[in-house]
Amino acid sequence: MVKGTATVDSVYGDLSIDTLLEHPEGRELLSCIQCGICAGTCPYGDAMDYPPRRIIAMMRAGMLEEVFASDSLLNCVACYACMAKCPRGLRLTEVLLPLVKEQTFVNLPEIPAELQKALENTLRYGNPMGQSPRKRAAWIKNTDVPIRILKSDPRPVDVLWFVECYTSYHPRGQEACHATAKIFDALGVDFAILGPEEKCAGECARLVGEPGLFDALREDIVALLNKYEFDRLVTSGAHAYDAFKYLYPDLGFTRPVEHTHTFFAGNLNRLEPLLSKKLDYRVTYHDSCCLGRHNGHYEEPRSLLTAIPGVTLVEMIHNRVNSICCGGGGGGMWLDTYYKSKGYDRLSDRRVQEAADAGADVLAVSCPYEVSRFEDSVKVLGYESTLMVKEITELLAESMEA
């Protein structure tokens, strides 16, 4: 796990770029030894005019305005690689980059259209794809197990399952939803969802440099969560997990938070006997940035995969702390055309190539953004007939089939 994240105090709340150096966390940034590992480990480091090292150098020189005038930080996919590798343990992705990205965003002469639309949609409809909020739980119509929606049945519940956007609306995300519901049901978990009341947890809005949108979403969601009684929040979203864990306590949300995969891994003794069908797959697992590097949950997803009879787990050359971002974080989900126009490689292409090189026939993932990104790359690279992309719950549910 990254240094400094074990006990996150409410450093996020009162920090701004102007007050950064009045705060111990900010002053600590000045202890940077200018080694440049951050730039070296950044997946877009070669394309970044101002990697963290240079930002800190400019900060020391009082020349941050120059950094803000550049669109350099639009290349930051908030993957926590620089922070994980920093020998000084500086909280780059947690503290420095969001503040700089906010200034970058404000100064952009033109916001890439795709990103603008996603942000406008998130504000208005609570999801970046601009789908109807009322249809957020439409996927439950095709699920075999009963799913309780708290608004219509607000009795206390053990697990509040925060489904998140891509899982709710994207056809491939919905398949992971059906799988997750099936596993909850099979484990006899008392669970419920927010349904149409749910909206985006906002982590990407914050990390693309639109913290005001994040604040608005967070206030709404905390008010919503306060309406219901539940023991823990379990989310399908790796980014939502991160946000609930580190950013929501500022507003008084303190209930336990888990990702579906860590939750299921914690119930593996009861889950494993249900995994009856042999799946003859060579599976490689892509550590998502939020779940892996930022929270150190490297082994739980793997424990789920190895519990499936027949599955052989193989590793990509970059794994665990060295995993390469899918390119979807920090707003990258809506910057593909922008990156393309700049001539950058797709990070998801790089990653899918690694999966293919590892000889995997399934690329297993734990973040809702990854399925569509990697499936696109599978098509781009021509591995459709040899490589499948699966959310881990999909594999678990498949193994539970009679």
Partner 1 sequence: MKILVLLKMVPDVVEELEVGPDGTSLDLEFQRLIVSESDDHALEQALILKDRHGGTVTALALDQPDIDDVLFTALAKGVDRAVKVTETDTALTSRSTGTVIAQTLPAVPDLLPVDLIVTGCQAIDDLDGQVAPLVANALGLPYLGLVTGVAAEPDADRATITKEYAGGVRGVFEVPLPALLGLQVAEKPPRYVPVAKVRAAMKSAQIAAVPAAGEPVATRIDVLDMAKPESASHAEMLEGSPEEMAAKLGELLAARGLV
Partner 2 sequence: MAQNIWVVAEQWRGQATDATFELLALGRELADGLGTSLETVLFGHGVGDLAGEFGASDTVLAADHPAFAVPTAEAFGAALASLVKERQPRCVLVPLTNVLWDALGILPAELDGPFINFCQDVRVSQGRIEADCLLYGGKMRATVVPTGDGAVFGLASGVRPPDQGRVDRTPTVEAVAPAVPTSLRVQFKDFHEPEAADVDITQQDVLVAVGRGIQTQDNVELAEELATALGGATCASRPVIDQGWLPLARQVGKSGATVKPKLYIAAGISGAPEHTEGMKDAELIIAINTDPEAPIFGVAHYGIVEDATDVLPALTESLAAMKE
Binding positions for partner 1, rule: CB under 8 A: 105-106, 110-111, 113, 116, 119-120, 123-125, 130-134, 210-213, 215-216
Q: Does 379 bind partner 2 (CB under 8 A)?
A: yes
Using CB distances below 5 to 8 A depending on partner kind, what does residue 379 bind out of partner 1, partner 2, none? partner 2
Burial of 251 (0-12, 13-18, 19+ CB in 10 A): middle
Contacting range for partner 2; rule: CB under 8 A; set: 78-86, 173-181, 207-215, 336-344? 336-344
Q: Does 132 bind partner 2 (CB under 8 A)?
A: no
Beta-carbon contacts of residue 80 (< 8 Å; ≥ 6 apart): 2, 93, 289, 290, 293, 294
23 versus 117: smaller Cβ distance to partner 2:
117
Using CB distances below 5 to 8 A depending on partner kind, what does residue 155 bind out of partner 2, partner 1, none? none
CA dihedral 199, 202, 203, 209 (to 10 degrees): 160
Rounded to whole angstroms, how far apart are CA atoms 77 and 74? 8
Comparing CA positions, the residue from 368, 173, 399 lying closest to residue 259 is 368
Using CB distances below 5 to 8 A depending on partner kind, what does residue 119 bind out of partner 2, partner 1, none? partner 1
335 versus 395: smaller Cβ distance to partner 2:
335
Residue 358: helix, strand or coil by DSSP?
coil
**Sign of the alpha-carbon dihedral angle for 76, 292, 171, 152:** negative
Site string for partner 2, 108-127 (x = CB under 8 A): -----xx-------------
Q: Does 252 bind partner 2 (CB under 8 A)?
A: no
Rounded to whole angstroms, how far apart are CA atoms 369 and 208? 15
Please report the DSSP string for 2-55 in residue order.
Answer: -TT-TT--STTTT--TTTGGGSHHHHHHTT-----HHHHH-TTGGG-SS-HHHH
60 versus 379: smaller Cβ distance to partner 2:
379
The two tokens of residue 399 are 């193994």
Using CB distances below 5 to 8 A depending on partner kind, what does residue 265 bind out of partner 2, partner 1, none? none
Amino acid type, 156? P
Q: Does 336 bind partner 2 (CB under 8 A)?
A: yes
10 versus 386: smaller Cβ distance to partner 2:
386
- Residue linked to tokens 């992309």: 389
122 versus 262: smaller Cβ distance to partner 1:
122
Using CB distances below 5 to 8 A depending on partner kind, what does residue 246 bind out of partner 1, partner 2, none? none
Measured from the CB of residue 380, what is the shortest distance to partner 2 in angstroms?
9
4 versus 133: smaller Cβ distance to partner 1:
133
Site string for partner 2, 282-321 (x = CB under 8 A): ----------------------------------------
Using CB distances below 5 to 8 A depending on partner kind, what does residue 340 bind out of partner 1, partner 2, none? partner 2
Comparing CA positions, the residue from 368, 389, 346, 366 lying closest to residue 288 is 366
Rounded to whole angstroms, how far apart are CA atoms 72 and 66? 11
134 versus 340: smaller Cβ distance to partner 2:
340
Amino acid type, 272? E
Using CB distances below 5 to 8 A depending on partner kind, what does residue 282 bind out of partner 2, partner 1, none? none
Using CB distances below 5 to 8 A depending on partner kind, what does residue 105 bind out of partner 2, partner 1, none? partner 1
Measured from the CB of residue 53, what is the shortest distance to partner 2 in angstroms?
32
**Sign of the alpha-carbon dihedral angle for 5, 9, 10, 12:** negative
